[in-house]
Structure 1
């Protein structure tokens, strides 16, 4: 499994055992389009056994300090095997080997932060004695695990985003049934091996692979699942919410991230950061820069500088140390992006750079003369395309940024404190990044959106609040 030089089969991880099934799916090397691994396809029976095992595991005490030790050990093992995991990421996702190493390091950090938070889960005192007739009472709250959590993760960051669900869930005392994306499941399966080695008790983690729609339905139908945490498309997120009933749901969905570059911005800094954070992972990042609004006074200079910096990006084999951008996850996705850009050009957009597809590769693309109703602006491109528009007034650009169904994160480059504070109050997003692009994220910060970008927060401390229930204890003295 480590070298991925021959096609191997990976089983399901259910009830503390690895089980291969007769039906398999291919996982492709996204650069060569050759099969590197066959994964087992779960049936409804496998999913039900996984949920049952996860529920039964909750009967065994798993103290906070034990959770801390397991998660810290897992983080250590992950760092020791950084190169192995990075190579797998480069192969199964198609992201550059340098970016893949960064993801492994971040995933280890996510587990470390989760481990620390396992020791900090607490309730609070409630002054019930201040109510008339309750003078002899005292009360406090506890935070208790929600129980069995179904975690459904996406293809684009298939190690760190698994850790963002698994780490806090385990830290909070829950058990997890994990469904990784079928196109990028290898890191999740390897992580399950690693968690087992780190001492995670049997049943606290199950990994079921196969068709996402089928497994999702089976998990939703199983009433022993207490919470769903999902990262993916708004369409699927809305389906999960509609079928989950009264159970907890945390959704991290799409975005068409805006970044504003005001007339007083540091152009060198702005163009450098925007070029870095628009095209990494071939633009397949939820908070990747997509819409750029530039003040008219600096528009021409910004476009010229951004083009110069973007032209230096190397597109090619993800395993090559020089590569910045690899292929998209599927040929069909590259074809979709190609069609959206073609449609924008037909509607009047101009291609300043890129606009070409080579198989599953789509070259970094800069569009100008766009309007907000083009697909490349209105919807989520999820590809290496940015659309640059002009604005004149602060009120105008805030309206433009907010004219979206999404609201995950936005960026703003300005040295005007008054503008920054106005934007902080009025731009409708889960996070505003000032003097950086929308795609800034560190793993212990609260991360989540509004509108069709979802609900709930990631970041271990904040995810643990989602993954626990508050219980009040009242003592009659």
Structure 2
């Protein structure tokens, strides 16, 4: 098995720097310190932003093939370090090894997509002679890099959610400073190590800076930064937006995603996918299946199938190949969700599976009969709990999906194309997934939400649009 180093640096203006070893990162299963890394002080963050400002012009001048080659180098190196990257996720995030390997695969996919998109930054020729006064005029526009960007990434996908900021920035030609989650900084640090191998990147093109939240205001407030892209909790995200000033803001926030299972669904297929969507990586995904709305004609049989399957899920050490449920990110978070489960049961909900908790290990939990004012219904669980309800009318099911302050993605299992189109038109979410769960994402598709789930879209091409501005050119023929 791969071993981690005892100490890791931060990356300041493309270079490894070790000013301290102040951040201790734990193995989320054992609770023991796994490694230490440096914490960036406000002075270091300021220096990184100044470096990104200096790098903005040379980054913008990089040829498309040069940006492509940097990203292709990353793809090659990540593939070579596949086992190391997967093991780092097991340790710092408590992610079961199969999920960890899946995330490394997606990391590689995301950089590969970005390497292709780096050569597809197209513009458009536009006729302007739409009236007599514009005769002889023509226009064209192109996208240019927005400039220095600030990225803040979360703990639950330390590799791929960081990749969805870093890879598009390089493809677009934007220098950046990144603050990875303090609970899981290693994935971003390893990406910095690989990027540091690319001499073509100008000094200041990137900085990877673990930092305490109390000292990290510059990532949000500094006016030299032209874009803030944040992935994390709604409470923090909206607060950052309020402090961001004039810069563009992209927010990928939370959800309590719903899935509808109609009477004509393939129940075995729906069962397998909902178990995956509800409990993979201990439910710590903003599009994890939290609410399952089942047609009354199949409710009892599907509920029983689901309860039986959930009880069979194996919990334990994420480094073991047969583990499906690993630890939550901390005992505090497990106890928070355990409290919501207990409160729901005390309020009349029925516990169909799970409910137990020891340290950071929360059992895969299945509930029915939850009221719509319970926290486990209204809030983002962000853990291994799924709640069931039944419906009789399709429109009523759609309304129940929409009965949420969140709107990230939703899944529907049905064979009726008319119901599919009703859902696409009527669900107030960023994406509708048919015959699969809300948790499904491919890394080139537009991804993001509405309402409290955020602003803007990720997915490489769509992130590149946010990291660019349109520059127009008007020509008069004389």
User: Matches of 1:167 and 1:324 in 2, distance apart?
Assistant: 29
Q: Is the 8 A contact 2:223 2:245 kept in 1?
A: no
Q: Is the 8 A contact 1:179 1:212 kept in 2?
A: no
SS in 1 for 2:228: strand
The residue that corresponds to 2:35 in the other structure is 37
The residue that corresponds to 1:56 in the other structure is 54
- 1:251-266 aligned at under 5 Å gives the runs 251-266=251-266
- 1:17-416 aligned at under 5 Å gives the runs 17-22=15-20, 24-60=22-58, 61-199=61-199, 201=201, 202-215=203-216, 217-416=217-416
TM-score of the superposed pair, with normalisation by structure 1 = 0.97
Q: 1:413-467: CA deviations, max 9, x gaps?
A: 1111111111110011000011111111111111000100001111101111111
User: Matches of 2:277 and 2:214 in 1, distance apart?
Assistant: 31
User: Matches of 2:34 and 2:268 in 1, distance apart?
Assistant: 42
> Offset at 1:476?
2.2
User: Matches of 1:170 and 1:370 in 2, distance apart?
Assistant: 46
User: Matches of 1:200 and 1:410 in 2, distance apart?
Assistant: 42
Q: Is the 8 A contact 2:14 2:195 kept in 1?
A: no
SS in 1 for 2:196: helix
TM-score of the superposed pair, with normalisation by structure 2 = 0.97
> Offset at 1:131?
3.3
Q: Is the 8 A contact 2:223 2:246 kept in 1?
A: no
Q: Is the 8 A contact 2:221 2:245 kept in 1?
A: no
Q: 1:380-430: CA deviations, max 9, x gaps?
A: 000000000111111211111111100000010111111111111001100
- 1:431-470 aligned at under 5 Å gives the runs 431-470=431-470
The 10-residue stretch of structure 1 (304-313 or 424-433) with the greater mean CA deviation from structure 2: 304-313
SS in 1 for 2:271: helix
> Offset at 1:239?
1.2
User: Matches of 2:200 and 2:408 in 1, distance apart?
Assistant: 33
Q: 1:312-347: CA deviations, max 9, x gaps?
A: 221111111111111000110000011000000011
Q: Is the 8 A contact 1:148 1:227 kept in 2?
A: yes
The 10-residue stretch of structure 1 (104-113 or 238-247) with the greater mean CA deviation from structure 2: 238-247
> Offset at 1:59?
2.5
User: Matches of 1:302 and 1:200 in 2, distance apart?
Assistant: 56
Q: Is the 8 A contact 1:231 1:253 kept in 2?
A: yes
User: Matches of 1:148 and 1:306 in 2, distance apart?
Assistant: 48
User: Matches of 1:78 and 1:301 in 2, distance apart?
Assistant: 44
> Offset at 1:200?
5.3
The 10-residue stretch of structure 1 (371-380 or 150-159) with the greater mean CA deviation from structure 2: 371-380
User: Matches of 1:97 and 1:449 in 2, distance apart?
Assistant: 29
Q: Is the 8 A contact 2:14 2:192 kept in 1?
A: no
The 10-residue stretch of structure 1 (430-439 or 15-24) with the greater mean CA deviation from structure 2: 15-24
The 10-residue stretch of structure 1 (380-389 or 231-240) with the greater mean CA deviation from structure 2: 231-240
> Offset at 1:205?
1.0
Q: 1:269-296: CA deviations, max 9, x gaps?
A: 1111100111111100010000111111
> Offset at 1:129?
2.4
Change (3 A) 1:3 1:23: closer
User: Matches of 2:137 and 2:471 in 1, distance apart?
Assistant: 16
Q: Is the 8 A contact 1:181 1:212 kept in 2?
A: no
User: Matches of 2:221 and 2:85 in 1, distance apart?
Assistant: 34
> Offset at 1:368?
0.8
Q: Is the 8 A contact 1:54 1:148 kept in 2?
A: yes
> Offset at 1:57?
1.1
> Offset at 1:198?
4.1
User: Matches of 2:210 and 2:200 in 1, distance apart?
Assistant: 20
SS in 1 for 2:332: helix
Q: Is the 8 A contact 2:10 2:18 kept in 1?
A: yes
- Structure 2 residues not aligned, in runs of 5+: none
> Offset at 1:245?
2.3
Q: Is the 8 A contact 2:138 2:475 kept in 1?
A: yes
Q: 1:350-380: CA deviations, max 9, x gaps?
A: 1100000021100100001112211111000
Q: Is the 8 A contact 1:71 1:198 kept in 2?
A: no
> Offset at 1:189?
0.3
User: Matches of 1:100 and 1:263 in 2, distance apart?
Assistant: 35
User: Matches of 1:212 and 1:329 in 2, distance apart?
Assistant: 18
> Offset at 1:220?
2.2
Q: Is the 8 A contact 1:70 1:199 kept in 2?
A: no
> Offset at 1:310?
1.8
User: Matches of 1:294 and 1:372 in 2, distance apart?
Assistant: 16
> Offset at 1:213?
4.4
